[in-house]
Structures are given as structure tokens and as C-alpha cells.
Homo-oligomer: A and B are copies of this chain.
């Protein structure tokens, strides 16, 4: 196992993750298109590279943590991409949340270059990245998973999900469930408050019984207090719902509720609510119902 790790994508997730790797004794060589992100990385003790390709060429392990499928495609398969410069047997770990279809395509190209690759998206958000408690969903060859395990365990709790793409698929499943949990809560709160019931009572009763969800426990009280600070931005969940629709199309799954969730999150984007927490989907349901949530005091 080498002691040098390349790391591309040094945003609110990538930089704290890179920091944990440094603390664990790895030399981390990083790159980001945003100069401020790269500067912060250097201030954490990282070594700046001038491109993804340069970062990967110097390392035995390379991690990407970028926003979406096209960025992953560019980082690995682009004209000056990682696969052009990487030494054979460089371990490639894409921890971005992207389409399983793209994950499989990039891993196949990596294999042709002699580089083993895993898809390893995470959940747990910025807090999980900072506290090294990310849930990591991993797809790829089991032997490669074993090789990457020490890295993943520095960053959080890995779970092996199956062959290439399976990590992204499980992440997509996770985001379906989280979206539906929020939409159910949104409709419950709007119906209840339109009927004149105190939303605090609705949360209290629902969270104590069969209707309980973790998102209700964490965000329900904040929704009632008109607090939609992210957490996880609606724009990112909208991106994930695009991935879910693409995956559903690719695998022949007909998912009517996910399709509706996609449209409701699309309305969040149209209304300029993309930078709010995803719990703000309650605003869409309130808008449809010609009211506001939380309800205005009399």
C-alpha cells in the first residue's frame, strides 16, 4: 500500500475527507478547479497539483469527489484525464454520487488501462465528512474492496454492495427513500395545518409511532421553526433524482413516486429554493395548497 493519495474535488466534502487522510499519515496530492478550495486544501497540509492527471500520476491511490456524472467522466475519460496518466494498478476510488451506468462505464475503461476501480458514494453529508462517519456504499471487485478498506475506514463505515455500479445503485435507493420520507412529512404537515392542527402535535404523534422516520426526527422540529438551512441542499437531491430516473430507465424500473418526487424537486429549483435544505419540499406542497408552511401566526 502506497503512502501517496491523489484527491480531486476539494469542496465541502472533499477537503475534510482529505484532511482525515493526512491525519492518518498519508501524503495527499490534490486538485480542484476552484482556487479557493485548493488554497484551503494546502492550508490543511495538502500538496497542490495543477490537474487531476498530475495528481493521479504521482500516486498509488486516487480518489475523486466531484459533483455529478459529467465531472467524473471528464476527470477519468477526458482528453487530459486520469486514465491517460495513471500508472497501471493505481487504485481508483470514485466517491462522487453519480449514475450507476456512468460508474460502470468508467470502471470498465479503467480496467482496460489496468487500473482497478470502485464506485464508493457516501451519505452523511458535510457533518459526516468532518466527523469521519460517512456511510460508504461500495461497488466493484471484492478483492479490490479489501485493498481499499483501510482508506474507507479512515473516512467512515463502508459496506460492500456488489459488483461495479452497485454502490451507486444503493445510494440511489437511499435517496429515493429519503425523498419520499420528506414528501410524506410535507403532505402530512400541510394537510394537518390546513385543517387547523398544531404541526408540533403532528410531529409528536407521528414520530412516536409507526410513521417515524429519521428525517422527521432530525428536521421536523426545524421545519416547524421555518429553519431550512442546509443540511443537504435541495439542488443536490434534485441532481440525485435525475440520477434515479436515469438508473430506472437503464434498468427498466417503473417508479411513479420517484418520478413525482423529481417533479416536486424540479419545482423547488424553479422557485429558487435549490439552496435550501431538501426538507423545504414542504414549501412546494404548501404552494400547491395556496398556503405557507409553517403557517403564519394570526
Contacts and interface: CB of A to CB of B under 8 A. Distances in A.
A264 B255 contact: no
Given A170-B192, A260-B256, A187 B197 contact: no
Contacts of A33: none
A135 B212 CA distance: 13
Interface in A42-88: none
Contacts of A176: 184, 187-188, 191
Interface in A87-133: 100, 123-124
A271 interface: no
A107 B170 CA distance: 49
A10 interface: no
A129 to B, nearest CB: 14
Given A135-B205, A218-B210, A289-B252, A181 B181 contact: yes
Interface stretch (A1-9, A21-29, A140-148, A158-166): A158-166
A270 interface: no
A151 interface: no
A162 to B, nearest CB: 5
Contact of A257 (B178, B183, B196, B254): B183
Given A201-B159, A289-B253, A177 B173 contact: no
Contacts of A209: 123-124, 135, 174, 214
By size class, the interface of chain A is 35 or more
B185 A253 contact: no
A276 interface: no
Contacts of A257: 180, 183-184, 187, 257, 260-261, 264
Contacts of A175: 211
Interface stretch (A11-19, A221-229, A243-251): A243-251
A189 B173 contact: yes
Given A198-B162, A212-B213, A260-B257, A173 B252 contact: no
A172 interface: yes
Contact of A197 (B161, B183, B210, B290): B161
A173 B188 CA distance: 4
A283 to B, nearest CB: 13
Nearest to A125: B210
Nearest to A170: B205
Contacts of A216: 177
A12 B169 CA distance: 41
Nearest to A257: B183
Ranked 8 nearest A-B pairs via Cβ: A180-B184, A173-B188, A254-B288, A177-B211, A212-B214, A194-B251, A177-B184, A169-B195
